[in-house]
Chains A and B, each alone.
Chain A
Amino acid sequence: EAGVAQSPRYKIIEKRQSVAFWCNPISGHATLYWYQQILGQGPKLLIQFQNNGVVDDSQLPKDRFSAERLKGVDSTLKIQPAKLEDSAVYLCASSLYRRNTEAFFGQGTRLTVV
């Protein structure tokens, strides 16, 4: 079965610019997660969707980050405007159900803000 697809793989932008990341989860997976992983740290949950509804966005910096999952399938994460500290790998993951099942991760998008 196909895995979680993310694009782009790499992105370099200047601070104050905007950027968007795309994620296509595994077919049939109802739950979708976006994580931010700064170099040398564990992934930090930004937002969790169940189908097209938001379950948890408590750690999403809503003044600059936004995410949507239209039709409960693909998702986009946007940063506007970007700051230097946003440089990180952005990981998308999906799972069958919200509880008790492991999540499968995509390859991530490495963002560098200069």
Chain B
Amino acid sequence: GQQVMQIPQYQHVQEGEDFTTYCNSSTTLSNIQWYKQRPGGHPVFLIQLVKSGEVKKQKRLTFQFGEAKKNSSLHITATQTTDVGTYFCAVGGGGGSYIPTFGRGTSLIVHP
């Protein structure tokens, strides 16, 4: 199946600092989705990227899809305690593979 590496595994930040998580694949991706899971909760869909070089924003969150469609990033500006949770990327492979493979996630811990 599709291989995807997500880094870092954990990130501690002070409230107000920025945060970035990366999702990398060795093969070209058809699309990438990002999900957030709060502690004790279930994954919740945030966004999907499909175009090379695509950048989408949701308030303080910025999502980017690499030009080669092999990597993606999620950047949070000025973190808040409500941003705490694990962020997962889910990648769809090229050639029409429609079953996403999830990365292992990045756990964000925000210290007040």
B and A form one assembly: no
- Residues of chain B touching chain A, judged by Cβ–Cβ distance below 8 Å, are none
- Residues of chain A touching chain B, judged by Cβ–Cβ distance below 8 Å, are none
